[in-house]
A and B are shown apart, each in its own frame.
Chain A
Amino acid sequence: MLRWATFAWLGLTLVFIAAPTLIAIVVAFSSAELVKFPPDGYTFKWFASAWGKELFWRAALVSLLVALSAMAITVPAGVAAALAIRRSSVATRRMLELVFMSPLLVPAIVLSLAILVGSVLIGATDAPLRLWAAHSIIVLPYVVRTTLASLAGMPPGVEEAAATQGASPWQVFRYITLPLITPGVLAGAAFAFIISFDNVSVSLFLVNQKTPTLPLAIMNYVEYNFDPSVAAISTTMVALSLAVAWLVERMVGLRRILQ
């Protein structure tokens, strides 16, 4: 009896978790003009309509470029930071970890405003630049964390062994450390990509009126329109995130990100 109740509750929980995403996907394929459920029929036309709008594909491009550019900065910086943490004394290590986790501790809206103010103060009001900067900093903790986990998972003594064989620190890194941590780094990079692409709060004050990011374009569009185009865009975004997650799972296993 208790078993059955537990199963039912868990089932409900899973439905609760998956429902909004599933709804968005179902609505994306529904043929009615007004959003309703259950749909009358099914069609691909909303995908065509949504991706035909300049607003959306330009925003998608912006989101894509911001995410990739942010990764370009943050992955090297984050890996280096993780290496530095590992080579530090315990006290320094705690401090550095805190410093690099700090972007997670600032409320997103506060960070968005702060970067806006900062950019005005130094006169750098170029929107793509601001977005790039903001997204770089918010994904830093993820890259640092997964790289640290990877480093911890390395067999102990492997680097020392290479060093005793006469390898220089750079060679140790290039031929021993790097290949061993690459799966973790890539997992972090992939997660960073998803976080950046999906992000709304930090981008809020930093976008240019003409070129929002894709999630912001969705938010703006929903204010004025009620057709399922939004659901179609959302479905594409979900597919993208799942594809990236699947890729990571295939290559390194999702568990790495969860450490």
Chain B
Amino acid sequence: MCSATRTPRIATFMLAMPALSLVAGLIVFPTVGLFVLSLAENFSPGDPVDQFFAGRFGWANYVRLVTDEFVIGRLLRTLVIGAIVTLGTFIVGVPLAMALWRMSGRAKALLLAVTLTPLLVSIVVSAYGWSVLLGQRGIVNETLRSLGLISRPLKLMHSDIAIIIGLVHILLPFMVLNLLAALERVPRVVLEAASTLGASPLRVHAAITLPLAAAGTRSGVLLVFSLAVAAFVTPAILGGNGTPVFPMVIYDQFSGSFQWAYGAALAIALLAISSVIVALYLATARRGTY
């Protein structure tokens, strides 16, 4: 731990003030405002602010939410898609994380850089790339056709498959980084000891690596799941008709249906779900010591 010189508490407080004000003003206040909007029962978009506060408030929007078949259906669908995406990132991410774990030096840095490209590139660019790849005349269909596996092009674009592929692509770095961080905490020495004692590589990993890396897996899974459920842009570009996922339903309340108060309630619901997942993530993620 650091042994900083004794600084008066007031100085510490003042140092934290600017960032605290940013969070208070740009996270806390707006979220409270959104919550207040979700309680408005007779709100019409564009109502002047004083008229807004003179209106009726209550839980009507939330009651409507829990009894709304369509919305609940979409929410469940989104959770399922999120689960599939998480599984996908795990399956693809584990071999990659393990490979990175064994590497070192330049090769490792290079591979890591490639793995991180979805983070460095805007999600619109990734989604656009997928829309070209998955189109009816896109590479995927053309390759499958030339290999003789299909006779008519598959409808890949504008579907749940496309959403899942797109989300696995952009969330893979998060899974890999979490797995890698967990793996790197496994002391090599223990693995070597087990190996010298005669255990096969599979046994070594099953008995030692897996349990020790479990925490990293849990945190990776939770993080990816929370991001997948809240995703809007990728499903909007790659998804099928209408509003295939919950965040798109929220968007729709604001830009199509003009039901802002209800949309606010949906947004708060998404925030609540996300908070639960993220709370679990924070509890399981091991952070570095400072």
Contacts and interface: CB of A to CB of B under 8 A. Distances in A.
A–B touch (CB < 8 A): the answer is yes
Interface of A: 6, 9-10, 13-14, 16-24, 27, 35-37, 73-74, 76-78, 80-81, 83-88, 93, 96-100, 102-103, 105-111, 113-115, 117-121, 123, 133-134, 136-137, 140, 144, 148-149, 151-152, 154, 156-157, 159-160, 163, 169, 172, 194, 197-201, 204-205, 215, 218-219, 222, 230-231, 234, 237-238, 241-242, 245, 254-255, 258-259
A117 B270 contact: no
A137 B95 contact: no
A100 B117 contact: no
A21 B117 contact: yes
A45 to B, nearest CB: 18
Nearest to B49: A121
B85 to A, nearest CB: 14
A172 B99 CA distance: 43
A146 to B, nearest CB: 12
Interface stretch (B58-66, B68-76, B127-135, B189-197): B127-135
B33 A114 contact: yes
B125 A117 contact: no
Given A20-B127, A36-B137, A241-B121, 12 more contacts: A17-B115, A17-B172, A22-B129, A86-B290, A109-B247, A114-B30, A151-B2, A151-B290, A160-B5, A198-B121, A204-B251, A237-B122
B120 A24 contact: no
Given A27-B132, A106-B274, A219-B237, A113 B254 contact: yes
B80 interface: no
Contacts, number: 256
A8 B177 CA distance: 21
Interface string B226-248: 00001011000100000000010
Interface in B76-116: 92, 95-96, 99, 109, 111-115
Contacts of B169: 16-17, 20
B259 interface: no
Interface in B239-266: 247, 250-251, 254, 263-264
Nearest to B98: A6
Contact of A96 (B16, B114, B247): B16
Contacts of A157: 3
A169 B5 contact: yes
A29 B249 CA distance: 37
18 contacts: A17-B114, A19-B129, A20-B169, A87-B11, A100-B19, A110-B34, A110-B230, A114-B33, A118-B33, A136-B26, A148-B290, A151-B290, A159-B5, A160-B4, A169-B5, A234-B122, A238-B125, A259-B288
B289 interface: yes
Interface of B: 2-5, 7, 11-13, 15-20, 22-23, 25-27, 29-31, 33-34, 37, 49, 92, 95-96, 99, 109, 111-115, 117-118, 120-133, 135, 137-139, 142, 169, 172, 177, 230, 232-233, 237, 247, 250-251, 254, 263-264, 267-268, 270-271, 274-275, 278, 282, 287-290
Contacts of B112: 254, 258
Nearest to A100: B19
Given A102-B23, A117-B264, A108 B232 contact: yes
Contacts of B15: 80-81, 83-84, 87
A123 B133 contact: no
Contacts of A137: 22-23, 26-27
Nearest to A257: B116
B230 to A, nearest CB: 3
Given A19-B129, A88-B12, A108-B232, A133 B26 contact: yes
B142 A113 contact: no
A200 B232 CA distance: 10
B51 to A, nearest CB: 12
B16 A24 contact: no
A241 B126 CA distance: 14
Given A16-B92, A215-B122, A111 B30 contact: yes
B11 to A, nearest CB: 7
Contacts of A200: 122-124, 233
Closest 9 CB pairs of A and B: A20-B129, A118-B30, A107-B230, A114-B30, A81-B19, A198-B122, A84-B16, A84-B15, A77-B18
Contacts of B96: 10, 13
Contact of A169 (B7, B49, B115): B7
Contacts of B129: 19-24, 234
Contacts of B30: 111, 114-115, 117-119
